[in-house]
């Protein structure tokens, strides 16, 4: 468990100081894939550097498994830093060494002998999908593959936390999946806690369980990704849920219209038709669509309803986990 407790951090700027983090608190459970999302300059890297103990907060503290890191110095600080492997968007690789040689660097520093290094490097290159590239030079690989070397190197010493600070930044779209898969396998197969910062909520949507959104150094929302998506007013939902575009004419064919978020195959497949037949109400999908969070489908639909018991049908949908938002009714009982 990583806890960030009321962390604030400012830097001297030209003239006035720049506040990079304002009283940020987070709880990152052990073994989670946790996303920190926000626009450029919102404080993601500063938060990442505070968690990696490369930066000291002005106020507040970071706890790694309960250890208060605020006052650590010298050897104890170095030991705590070794708990966190770091990958950035600009990993420095040694081009005079092979891919395997790069991953072996931290193991050489630890004093592992050659057979132990070979075994560990082989396992890690396999984990990041580069087992066949071991003898190549980093310059012979794509940028996405170089990021995966950096992931393997960051995991080499067995750090329980992996900090991927914009690790998918500035690589080709088709290579993003490979980097995300490497991070996901680190979590799933090594039990590593992964903190992933990115400007794109869509990147976090593909792999993260939990999310924090930063804006101008402040935490604006945090929680499970599915929980945040269930609230259509959250920033995360607004960024990730399919947009609803319906015309007035489409809505006008029904007595009322509502928006609904449904999570999971079962809810999306059966809740609406079942509500319709159970309560004798016509329930039609007149807008929206389905997206995916990891493996889970999430629907954001506008529904048109007709029938006396539409209120009861909607209450029934809500009781079964559907998140219903009532849109304003127009003068003829039509959604505005
Ligand atoms: N070492 C530093 N010295 C001065 N200002 C800094 C320093 N590090 C960060 N800042 C400032 O703090 C604010 C937050 O920066 P930070 O790099 O944490 O944001 P970010 O969300 O990671 O941005 P990006 O997505 O562009 O990487 C910015 O205004 C930045 O200019």
Stretch(es) of the chain classified as CATH 3.40.50.300: 2-238
Task: Give the mean pLDDT of the chain.
Answer: 92
324: alpha, beta or left? (left if phi > 0; alpha if psi -120 to 50): beta
C-alpha span between 336 and 324 (Å, rounded): 16
Question: Hey, whose CA ends up nearest to atom 4 of ligand 1?
Answer: 11
Q: pLDDT at position 249, please? A: 82
| Interval between CA 45 and ligand 1 midpoint (Å) | 7
Residue labelled with tokens 């639909």: 301
87-116 pLDDT, tens digit each: 998 889 999 999 999 999 999 998 999 999
| Interval between CA 50 and ligand 1 midpoint (Å) | 12
Give yes or no for residue 20 CB within 6 A of ligand 1. Answer: yes
Question: Hey, whose CA ends up nearest to atom 2 of ligand 1?
Answer: 11
C-alpha span between 190 and 187 (Å, rounded): 6
Residue 273, burial from CB neighbour count under 10 angstroms (0-12, 13-18, 19+): exposed
Give yes or no for residue 198 CB within 6 A of ligand 1. Answer: no
pLDDT greater than 80 at residue 329? no
C-alpha span between 244 and 234 (Å, rounded): 16
Give yes or no for residue 167 CB within 6 A of ligand 1. Answer: no
| Interval between CA 218 and ligand 1 midpoint (Å) | 13
Nearest-atom index, ligand 1, CA of 55:
1
Give yes or no for residue 168 CB within 6 A of ligand 1. Answer: no
Q: What CATH class is the domain 2-238? A: alpha beta
Report the residue among 43, 52, 204, 217 best suited for mutation to probe ligand 1: largest number of ligand atoms under 8 A from its CB.
43
Q: Are residues 64 and 258 in contact, defined by beta-carbon separation less than 8 angstroms?
A: no
Tell me the β-bridge partners of 291.
Answer: 298
pLDDT greater than 80 at residue 57? yes
Q: What CATH class is the domain 241-326? A: alpha beta
Mean predicted confidence (pLDDT) in 200-211 = 93
Largest CA distance in the chain: 79
Tell me the β-bridge partners of 335.
Answer: 329
Mean predicted confidence (pLDDT) in 216-223 = 96
| Stated pTM of the model | 0.88
Q: pLDDT at position 331, please? A: 37
Residue labelled with tokens 């999302």: 37
Give yes or no for residue 218 CB within 6 A of ligand 1. Answer: no
pLDDT greater than 70 at residue 336? no
Stretch(es) of the chain classified as CATH 3.30.70.260: 241-326
Nearest-atom index, ligand 1, CA of 42:
21
pLDDT greater than 70 at residue 27? yes
Q: What is the DSSP letter of 58?
A: S
Q: pLDDT at position 47, please? A: 97
166-201 pLDDT, tens digit each: 999 989 889 999 999 999 999 999 999 999 999 999
Q: pLDDT at position 13, please? A: 80
Q: What is the DSSP letter of 114?
A: H
């Amino acid at each position: 468990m990583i806890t960030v407790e009321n962390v604030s951090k400012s830097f001297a700027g030209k003239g006035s100081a720049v506040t990079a983090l304002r009283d940020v608190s987070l709880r990152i459970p052990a073994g989670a894939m946790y996303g920190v999302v926000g626009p450029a300059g919102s404080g993601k890297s500063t938060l990442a550097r505070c968690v990696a103990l490369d930066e000291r907060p002005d106020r507040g503290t970071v706890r790694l498994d309960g250890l208060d890191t605020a006052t650590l110095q010298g050897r104890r600080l170095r030991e705590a830093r070794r708990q966190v492997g770091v990958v950035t968007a600009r990993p420095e690789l040694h081009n005079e060494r092979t891919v395997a040689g790069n991953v072996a660097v931290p193991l050489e520093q630890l004093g592992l002998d050659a057979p132990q290094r070979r075994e560990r490097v082989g396992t890690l290159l396999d984990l990041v999908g580069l087992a066949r590239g071991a003898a190549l030079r980093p310059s012979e690989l794509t940028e996405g593959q170089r990021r995966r070397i950096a992931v393997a190197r960051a995991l080499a010493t067995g750090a329980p936390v992996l900090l991927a600070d914009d690790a998918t930044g500035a690589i080709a779209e088709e290579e993003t999946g490979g980097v995300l898969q490497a991070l996901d396998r680190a979590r799933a197969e090594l039990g590593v806690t992964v903190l992933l910062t990115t400007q794109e909520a869509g990147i976090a949507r593909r792999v993260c369980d939990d999310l924090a959104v930063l804006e101008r150094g402040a935490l604006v929302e945090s929680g499970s990704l599915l929980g945040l998506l269930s609230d259509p007013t959250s920033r995360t939902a607004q960024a990730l849920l399919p947009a609803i575009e319906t015309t007035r004419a489409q809505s006008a064919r029904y007595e009322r219209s509502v928006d609904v978020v449904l999570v999971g195959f079962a809810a999306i497949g059966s809740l609406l038709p079942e509500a319709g037949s159970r309560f004798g109400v016509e329930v039609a999908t007149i807008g929206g669509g389905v997206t995916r969070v990891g493996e889970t489908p999430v629907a954001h639909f506008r529904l048109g309803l007709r029938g006396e018991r539409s209120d009861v049908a909607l209450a029934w949908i809500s009781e079964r986990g559907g998140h219903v938002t009532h849109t304003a009714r127009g003068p003829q009982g039509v959604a505005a």
